[in-house]
Amino acid sequence: MSFEKVAILGIGLIGSSICHAIHKFGGAKAISGHAKSAETRAAALELGLVDSIHEDPAEAVKGADLIILCAPVGACGALAAAIKSNVQPGAIVTDVGSVKGAIVRDVGPHVPPHAFFIPGHPIAGTEQSGPRSGFAELFEGRWCILTPVPNTPPEKVAALEALWTGFGSKVESMTADHHDLVLAMTSHLPHLIAYNSVATAADLEEVTQSEVIKFSAGGFRDLTRIASSDPTMWRDVFLNNKDAVLEMLGRFSEELSVLQRAIRWGDGETLFTLFSRAREIRRGIIAAGQDTAAPNFGRDPAKRS
């Protein structure tokens, strides 16, 4: 099962990784690309990511039976509007955005009735961005969530699913609202507090920035990795998943007040109980193949055997 021509609109980390994955694992006979910036278009050709590259997204989607919007969430509505007259009958329109409700709201109205709209989100990425950051194995072992709109023919969902499973992903379908709630917890909140920690550190006057950098191996460095992700993408996530993020943030702040009070009162039992629980979730994540069991993610010098 393979698509004839896939159009990748936006050649950043995810868009370029999809190109690499198709070259390595198959899934489409041809790839056309679109990128706003001339520099990215040149890189896409130089790296051999695409068969053709277009400044005009409407050109890129001509003859495509699969169209994947790989732009920041806030840019997808305009992109969908720009391509709508060239979307061919029977084509699947999907995306890779970290928010799904806003994609349904912004992209949905522009998908012609003769095409099939299946929003998607591969839970994969790195802190890097741009057309040179992609690699074929990015999706291996990761989940891809699809949020098909009601009445989407199952064979269309299956065709898109086959592409992702071909890349080594596992696929699950759910509603857009549920996706946005789950991801607010597992991705958006972690990024928010990582960005916030780095901002807190940057504003300290007693502790110089050079000390924060030198002594970061005690935990802070891990947060800076997450916080170095693409600012445009993340701005759009928070603007477009406001309700779920504010809900999770409210819960996070409530919990934090409990912890803060335990510290202030010297309540070691509460701290110990709460800290002990966290190990179970970590074990679950490793057992589910979603992280490495190697200490420090394996980034240290080799452990002596």
Site for a copy of itself in 64-103 (CB under 8 A): 74, 98
Comparing CB distances to a copy of itself, the nearer of 1 and 271 is: 271
Comparing CB distances to a copy of itself, the nearer of 38 and 281 is: 281
Comparing CB distances to a copy of itself, the nearer of 38 and 202 is: 202
From 276, 253, 256, 254, select the one nearest 264 (Cα to Cα). 256
- Nearest approach in angstroms of CB 145 to a copy of itself is 7
User: What distance in Å separates the CA atoms of residue 72 and residue 193, rounded to the nearest whole number?
Assistant: 20
Contact present, 18 and 30 (Cβ < 8 Å): no
User: What distance in Å separates the CA atoms of residue 295 and residue 106, rounded to the nearest whole number?
Assistant: 43
Q: Is 51 in the site for a copy of itself (CB under 8 A)?
A: no
Q: Which of 38, 154, 155, 304 binds a copy of itself (CB under 8 A)?
A: 304
> 3-class SS at 25?
helix
Q: Tell me, residue by residue from 134 to 163, as one string, x for binding to a copy of itself by CB under 8 A and - for no binding.
A: -xxxx-xxxx-x------------------
Q: How many Cα atoms sit within 13 Å of 17 on the Cβ side? A: 22
Q: Is 14 in the site for a copy of itself (CB under 8 A)?
A: no
Comparing CB distances to a copy of itself, the nearer of 41 and 179 is: 179
From 37-45, 81-89, 151-159, 231-239, span contacting a copy of itself (CB under 8 A): 231-239
The DSSP symbol for 130 reads S
Contact present, 184 and 248 (Cβ < 8 Å): yes
Comparing CB distances to a copy of itself, the nearer of 112 and 190 is: 190
Question: Within 186-225, which residues bind a copy of itself (CB under 8 A)?
Answer: 186-204, 206-207, 209-225
Contact present, 77 and 50 (Cβ < 8 Å): no
Q: Is 295 in the site for a copy of itself (CB under 8 A)?
A: yes
> 3-class SS at 80?
helix
Comparing CB distances to a copy of itself, the nearer of 109 and 298 is: 298
- DSSP symbols for 185-244: IIIIHHHHHHHHHHHHHHT-SSS-HHHHHHTGGGTHHHHHHHTTS-HHHHHHHHHHSHHH
Q: Tell me, residue by residue from 243 to 282, as one string, x for binding to a copy of itself by CB under 8 A and - for no binding.
A: --xx-xx-xxx-xx--xx-xxx-x-x--xx-xxxxxx-xx
What is the 3-state secondary structure of 239-304? HHCHHHHHHHHHHHHHHHHHHHHHHHHCCHHHHHHHHHHHHHHHHHHHHCCCCCCCHHHHCCCCCC
From 38-46, 82-90, 159-167, 286-294, span contacting a copy of itself (CB under 8 A): 286-294
Count of residues binding a copy of itself (CB under 8 A)?
Answer: 120
Comparing CB distances to a copy of itself, the nearer of 90 and 268 is: 268
